[in-house]
Structure 1
C-alpha cells in the first residue's frame, strides 16, 4: 500500500475536533473558491438539466392523461418516463464521484499550501474514475439499505463509510477495500464525524427548507399537486436550489477530504504533505 512508504509528519497531528474540522473545511473552500465552483457546476448542472427535462415531460404527460378519454396510454408513457429517474440517479452517482475526487485533490493541495487548477484535479481523478464510481454506488447502496429499515442505521453506515472515496482515490484501493479502509480509519472518531456532518447537513437542510417552502406557498400548491416545472416561481426556486447545491457540494466534499486527511494523520502518522505526494 502507498502509506507504507510515506514519511511521518514533522509534528504530532492535531486530534479530530469539531470546530477545527469545520474551520479547515471553510478555509479550503475560501482558498479554492473558483475551482471549487467550476467543479461543483460540472457536477450539479447536468443533473439539474436532465431532471428538469424529465419533470417537464412528466408534467405534460400527466396533463394529457387527465384530459384524455384514454388515459391508459398516457399513464404507460408516464411509467416509462419515471424510469428515467433511475438514469438520473446513475448520473448523480457518476458526477458525485468525479466531483468529490476532484475537490479532494484540491483540498489536499490547499492543506499543503499549494494552489492547483481544475485541469490538475480532473487529470488526477480520471485515472481512478471507475473504482470511484463503483465505491460511490456501494456506499450509497449500503447506506440506502440501512435507511430503509430505520433512518439511524443509514446514518451509522454513512459515517462508517464516509472516508471510502478519499481512500479509493488517495490510497488507490479497490471499492471493497476502500470501504474496509474507511471503517478502520473512522474507528474511535465516529461521534466527532457525526457531529461535523450534522452541523453541515443541518445548515444546508435549513437553507433548503427556507427556499422550498416559500416557493411552494407562493405558487399556491396543494399537497400532492404536480407543479409546472416551467412556472416562473418554480424556475426561480430551481435557480436558488442550484446555488444551494453548489455550496453543499463544495463544502461537504471538502469536509470529507479534511476529515480523511486528519484521520490519516491520527491513524497512520501521515501528514498532508505525504498525501499530496500521491498526486505528484
Structure 2
C-alpha cells in the first residue's frame, strides 16, 4: 500500500467501520426509515408474493406457471421498483452519511429529495457497474473483485462532488489507488459480520417457514434486506470520507463546505 502524501497516514479500517456504525446509531430513525421504505418494503412485497403465489399454484407440477405473464409480470414490476428504490436509497443514505460525518444533522426530507433528484444518473451508475462486474466476475472472479474495489466509492463521489457519471468512475479509481487491499479487508470484515448476524436470522426464518406463516417469513426477509442495504451504503460513504482525508487532507468537517 502506498503511503499518503500527507506523512505516514494510512487507510484506517477500524475508523471506517466505527464511523459507519456511529453514523447509523446517531441517525437510527432516519437510516431505518429510508432503508425500510426503499429496501425493506419492496423486498417484503416481492417475498410475500412469491411465497403465497408460487407456493399455492397448482401449475407448478408441470412447470407451466413459470411461462405465464401471471408469473413474470409481478417479478418484472418488482425488479423495476427495486432498481428505482435502490437508486434513491443509495443517494439518500450516502448524503445522510457524509452530512453526519461532517457534523451536520441529516433530515429525512432533504436526504430523500437528493435521492429522488438523482434517480436517473444513479440508475445509470448501477447499470454500468453491473455490466462491468458481471464481465469481471466471468473472467475467473479476480477481475470482478478488482473492479469492485476500484469502483467502491463511485456513488459517494458522484453524490457529494456533483460530477458526471463517467467522471465519478475515474474519481473512484483515483481515490482508491494505493488503498484497495485495505478497502477489501474493510468490506470483508463487514460481509463476515453480516454473515454472522444472518445465522440466527436463518434459524428464525426456518422456524417460521415450518409454521407456514408466510407473512412473517417475508417480513424478516424485508428487514434483513433493509439492514444490509443501509450498512453497506454507510460503510461505502465512510470509506469515501476516509479516502478524501487520506489523499487530499480534507477533514470530514470540511466536506459540507465543498458540497455547498
TM-score, normalising length: structure 2: 0.84
In structure 1, C-alpha distance between the alignment counterparts of 2:76 and 2:140, rounded to whole Å: 23
- Counterpart residue number, 2:106: 116
When residues 242 and 216 of structure 1 are mapped into structure 2, their CA distance, relative to the original with a 3 A threshold, is same
- Counterpart residue number, 1:225: none
> Once the 2 structures are TM-superposed, how far is the Cα of residue 249 of structure 1 from its aligned partner?
1.9
- Counterpart residue number, 2:221: 241
Q: Which moved more, 1:182-191 or 1:104-113?
A: 104-113
Counterpart selection for 1:131 from 121, 125, 129: 121
> Once the 2 structures are TM-superposed, how far is the Cα of residue 265 of structure 1 from its aligned partner?
2.0
In structure 1, C-alpha distance between the alignment counterparts of 2:226 and 2:159, rounded to whole Å: 22
Counterpart selection for 2:59 from 56, 64, 74: 64
Counterpart selection for 1:266 from 231, 246, 251: 246
Higher Rg = 1
- Counterpart residue number, 2:11: 16
> Once the 2 structures are TM-superposed, how far is the Cα of residue 58 of structure 1 from its aligned partner?
3.0
Long gaps (5+) in structure 2: 1-5
SS at structure 1 position matched to 2:11: coil
- Counterpart residue number, 2:134: 144
> Once the 2 structures are TM-superposed, how far is the Cα of residue 255 of structure 1 from its aligned partner?
0.8
Asked whether the equivalents of residues 21 and 258 of structure 1 are also in contact (C-alpha less than 8 Å), the reply is yes
> Once the 2 structures are TM-superposed, how far is the Cα of residue 130 of structure 1 from its aligned partner?
1.4
How many aligned positions are there?
254
When residues 120 and 216 of structure 1 are mapped into structure 2, their CA distance, relative to the original with a 3 A threshold, is same
Output aligned runs, 1:184-263, within 5 Å: 184-212=174-202, 215-216=205-206, 219=209, 231-232=212-213, 234-263=214-243
TM-score, normalising length: structure 1: 0.79
- Counterpart residue number, 1:81: 71
When residues 21 and 55 of structure 1 are mapped into structure 2, their CA distance, relative to the original with a 3 A threshold, is same
Counterpart selection for 2:168 from 178, 193, 197: 178
In structure 2, C-alpha distance between the alignment counterparts of 1:204 and 1:20, rounded to whole Å: 18
Asked whether the equivalents of residues 16 and 262 of structure 1 are also in contact (C-alpha less than 8 Å), the reply is yes
Q: Which moved more, 1:115-124 or 1:211-220?
A: 211-220
In structure 2, C-alpha distance between the alignment counterparts of 1:72 and 1:18, rounded to whole Å: 49
> Once the 2 structures are TM-superposed, how far is the Cα of residue 266 of structure 1 from its aligned partner?
2.2
In structure 2, C-alpha distance between the alignment counterparts of 1:213 and 1:140, rounded to whole Å: 31
Q: Which moved more, 1:140-149 or 1:174-183?
A: 140-149
> Once the 2 structures are TM-superposed, how far is the Cα of residue 84 of structure 1 from its aligned partner?
4.8
Over aligned residues, Cα RMSD in angstroms?
A: 2.8
Counterpart selection for 2:20 from 25, 29, 38: 25
Asked whether the equivalents of residues 43 and 221 of structure 2 are also in contact (C-alpha less than 8 Å), the reply is no
When residues 231 and 14 of structure 1 are mapped into structure 2, their CA distance, relative to the original with a 3 A threshold, is farther
